Structures are given as structure tokens and as C-alpha cells.
Amino acid sequence: MNPSDADPKLDIIFVPARTDTPVGSIVLLHGWGANHDDLGDLVPYFNLPEYQFLFPNGIFDHEYSDEGKMWYSFTGAGELTDLSRAQLATSREVLREWVQSLPDSTGIPLDRTWIAGFSQGGAMTLEIGLDLPVAGLIVMSGYLHQDRPKPESVAPPVEIVPGTKDDVVPIVAARSSRDKLTEWGIEVRYQEFEMGHSIVPEVLDVIRAFVTK
């Protein structure tokens, strides 16, 4: 089965490994208003040729962009409304079921599958990944939902990579997420960069080291 066809609810870009026997899978979740093409251009720069990449599209159309997608909507103040909470619940269910189905479609077990996300995609990474037996979670300029409950089982290790000059997701959100995850007993690796709401080459180096540790 082509991993792109694993769930009809998700529009997925699948980038195969450049080897016959992939070492692992990396799922990348885009941010609010972007789409699965947004992070796809980064594949060569990850320098992980033995890994296959999967880029799911957000399941909701963005309110202000014809091509943009989102996992849930925001208000102007960034708070969750009843609508956005319902959308979050739907995205959480769809993404979780899809990730759990990946071993059947890719041949790669969950313990060799990483979930990564940028901005809202980073929030969704924590939302679904803390309860899954995956290899690790990577949060780029993202955050932990404030009402996200503590995982009931042992959570995978988390790499958080925020920007100190981020004017979209402030650095305090990343530090708060780090502190809460650490309080829950989760292994957290944390490294700040002097950058805005973006992904600089040094971030990709950190991710590569985390995945290939």
C-alpha cells in the first residue's frame, strides 16, 4: 500500500527514502495557514537519506487563504473557541489513527517513527504524540496546549527548538511547555536559537542529531 493512500481523510505527500531499506519514518506537520508543501522543500536539508518522510495536509481549509490549511482555527487573541476545540478534537483523532496505521502501510514500526511539527503543527505533535509509542517528538516554534492532560503511559522523548525572537509563538510558550513536560517526567531536550518564527539551518542539525542519536 502507498502510505499516501493510508487514510482517505488525509491528503499526504510521501517522500521515500533514498535507500532500499529505510531506517525510519519522519512525519512532519505544517503550521496554521500553510500546507503540506511548506515543509516538503526541507527534505534534502535534513540530510537523512535513509529515512522516509510523510507530510499530511491539515484537514480544515484556512479562513484567509485559498491554499492554506489548518488543524484548527484561532480567534484574533489566539484563544480556542468551541469551534476550534471541536476542530482540534477532529484533527487529533484523524492524525492519531493515521499514525497508528503507518506500520501497516510503510513497514516501519512506530518505535522507528518520529513526529515533528512547526508552530501549530508542533502543538499537534505534542497533542497526539505524547500518547503514542513513537521514537520521538520534535517541536519547532510550537507549544503545548494548556489543557493537554498528562500522558497516562510513558511518553517518548521530546526535542523543543524555539526562537528567542519569535513574535508569533513567544519564547515563554516554549519555556512553559518545556517545564510542564519535565514536571511530568518526560525526557526533554531543549535548545533556543536567536531566530524569529522560522527554521534556520542549525535547527535541522539539532533535529538530525536527535533522530540519529
The grid coordinates listed for 179 are: 517545564
pLDDT exceeds 80 at position 149: yes
- Res 204: pLDDT: 95
Q: Is the pLDDT of residue 119 over 80?
A: yes
What's the pLDDT at 1? Answer: 41
Domain that holds residue 135: 3-211
pLDDT in the model for residue 157: 98
What pLDDT is attached to residue 76? 52
Sheet holding 113-118, edge to edge: 12-15, 51-56, 24-29, 113-118, 136-140, 158-161, 188-190
| C-alpha grid cell, residue 189 | 531536550
200 pLDDT exceeds 90? yes
| Number of domains forming the structure of the chain | 1
Spatial CB neighbours of 157, under 8 Å, sequence gap ≥ 6: 136, 137, 186, 187, 188, 189
Q: Tell me the sheet residues that pair with 60.
A: 70
> For residue range 5-15, what is the model confidence (pLDDT) as tens digits?
444 478 999 99
The pLDDT value given to residue 78: 57
Residue 101 pLDDT > 80: yes
Q: Which residue has the higher pLDDT, 6 or 99?
A: 99
Q: What is the mean pLDDT of residues 97-117?
A: 96
The answer to which of 12-26, 75-89, 96-110, 199-213 has the lowest mean pLDDT is 75-89
CATH number, domain of 56, equals 3.40.50.1820
Question: What does the pLDDT look like over 56-98, one tens digit per residue?
Answer: 999 999 878 788 999 999 765 456 788 889 999 999 999 999 9
Query: Which candidate, 42, 43, 73, 46, places its Cα nearest to that of 58?
Result: 73
More confident residue, 133 or 82: 133
Q: Tell me the pLDDT band of 4, cut-offs 50, 70 and 90.
A: very low
